[in-house]
Amino acid sequence: MTIDDLAQRIAADVAGDGGLAGLHRLSEVIAALEDRRTAVIDELRRGRHATWEEIGHACGMTRQGATRRWSDKLRARSFGAAAGAYRQGRPGYPQALIGSAVPREARRVLDLGAGTGKLTRLLVDAGLDVVAVEPDGAMRHELAAAVPKAAVRAGSAERIPLPDGSVDVVVVAQAWHWFDQGAAVPEIARVLAPGGTLSLIWNVRDESEPWVAELGALMHRSAKQTIDTKPVVPAPFGAPERLEIRWEHATTRAGILDMVASRSYVITLPEPERTRLLADVGHLLDTHSDLAGREEIAMPYVTRCTRVRL
């Protein structure tokens, strides 16, 4: 068993238990492993005069990229620890998205990295035959309860549990940046029918609204996640078509706190920092002149979709 495999199993166990404290301990264990791994590699390099290219090929990472890769792995697998907050706090998607993300002639759709089913529900309500694939058990539990008409399956973008050419469209909402794209792109191409469509979707908070910008500054004061929401998808996919939809998500104070709590970079904060951040967000919601005393809050979003064809 490789260290990557071990980390996946430990992280799945921790996420399944919903243990934030355990998740933080896992982060410390991984950091310690990486410290030792670097020392071992240095010893091997001195003894064998191996190049960093050889070591990187053998280990699947370079010394410089190791810490970042482990951090990304931890955050990608952290969502199960906050599956309830994710379901309650994350927005859905505008109805107008379906006509752009899914061609009219499509019938069978794969929602890949489906999470708690925020997009899955919209696809099912549009009358489509939907398979929802999600690697995290806690997220799948929320998904199956929220969208019982979807066929929910365990799996990942790198190992899709479907036969060749079995779907007309693959949609990926809020998840493309977590995939190993070198493995995911050929897997997605494999399960798509000839001429099939891949649609990559993100909801982005519209920080042209001043209070939303203040919220974003609070959320990112300890860690910032930079996501390319206009990605270039390699062959065998063609040129991208892009769409933006501006809309508002009706939420509440509690809903915004859940949205913040469900972000990977917040889930994996040390508990004192996480508690302080959520308290500061609550203070903003209670005191800002545009928000104080409101039972319902309109959160502005821009939904971005990149569509490519096989």
pLDDT value at position 94?
Answer: 93
Give residue-wise pLDDT tens across range 40-86.
444 443 444 444 344 444 444 444 444 344 344 444 444 444 455 55
Give residue-wise pLDDT tens across range 153-195.
999 999 999 999 999 999 999 899 889 999 999 999 999 999 9
Res. 3: pLDDT tops 80: no
Cβ contact 177:304 at 8 Å: no
pLDDT value at position 75?
Answer: 43
Q: State percent of the chain over pLDDT 90.
A: 56
pLDDT value at position 178?
Answer: 83
**Residue linked to tokens 């998500």:** 249
Mean pLDDT of 266-272: 81
pLDDT value at position 266?
Answer: 81
**Residue 257 binned pLDDT confidence (cut-offs 50, 70, 90):** very high
pTM: 0.72
Res. 211: pLDDT tops 80: yes
The residues near 296 (Cβ < 8 Å, ≥ 6 apart) are 250, 251, 252
Which of the two residues, 29 and 166, has the higher pLDDT score?
Answer: 166
Q: What are phi and psi of 82, to 5 degrees?
A: -135, 35
In a 3-state reduction of DSSP, which class is residue 36? helix
Res. 282: pLDDT tops 70: yes
pLDDT value at position 265?
Answer: 77
Cβ contact 219:260 at 8 Å: yes
The C-alpha atoms of residue 273 and residue 257 are separated, in whole angstroms, by 15
The answer to whether the peptide bond before residue 163 is cis (omega within 30 degrees of 0) is no
* β partners of residue 251: 297
pLDDT value at position 226?
Answer: 76
